[in-house]
Amino acid sequence: MPAVPVLVLVLVLAVTVGCSSTDAPASVSVPSPPAEEMAFCRALDKELPKTVAGHDRGDPEPSSVTTAGWGDAAIVLRCGVPRPERMSDPQAKGVDVDGVNWLLEERDSGPRFTTTYRKTYVEVTLGEQYLHDIGPLSDLAAPVADTVPPSL
């Protein structure tokens, strides 16, 4: 094989690998809540911390006031999500973190938590490194409690 085509192939591969960075923001489904719930999500977005569990905020794509992320998608928050089916299960597990109740859904990829008894549902998914750690919810409980009123 001639040297020039090999060099071109090597350059194309190098550019392709260089452009496919793992630091790119994660992509998540953006919720579309009703107007009243969207107002709560906007307020929550303004109050969310810059860091959660030591991870800097780096929001997922596409950008929206209904989504936020920290630590290259190790922690992802979505506001205004639909009510999870699992919430109707009397055997469902829940946790209370600093006065905010969360439905726990255990998954292989990491736990998912959804607020209960709030005027809109806020979902937080944690990466598998948080299989047995709800610590990040401590950083999110106060902003949720301050901006999303109880429904009871």
Tell me what pLDDT residue 2 has. Answer: 53
Instruction: Please give the structure tokens belonging to residue 116.
Output: 């209960």
**Which pLDDT tens digit goes with each residue over 86-126?**
999 999 999 999 999 999 999 989 999 999 999 999 999 99
Q: Is the peptide bond before 60 cis (omega within 30 degrees of 0)?
A: no
Mean pLDDT confidence for 60-88: 96
Question: Considering the chain, what is the average pLDDT of its residues?
Answer: 86
C-alpha distances (whole Å) from 32 to each of 39, 73, 114, 152 are 12, 20, 16, 23
For the entire predicted model, the pTM comes to: 0.82
Q: Residue 7: is its pLDDT beyond 60?
A: no
Q: Cα separation of 45 and 106, whole Å? A: 25
Mean pLDDT confidence for 40-64: 97
Tell me what pLDDT residue 25 has. Answer: 54
Which is nearest to 146 in space by CA: 122, 110, 114, 128?
122
For residues 118 and 102, is the Cβ–Cβ distance under 8 A?
no
Q: Cα separation of 131 and 111, whole Å? A: 6
Instruction: Please give the structure tokens belonging to residue 60.
Output: 């997922």
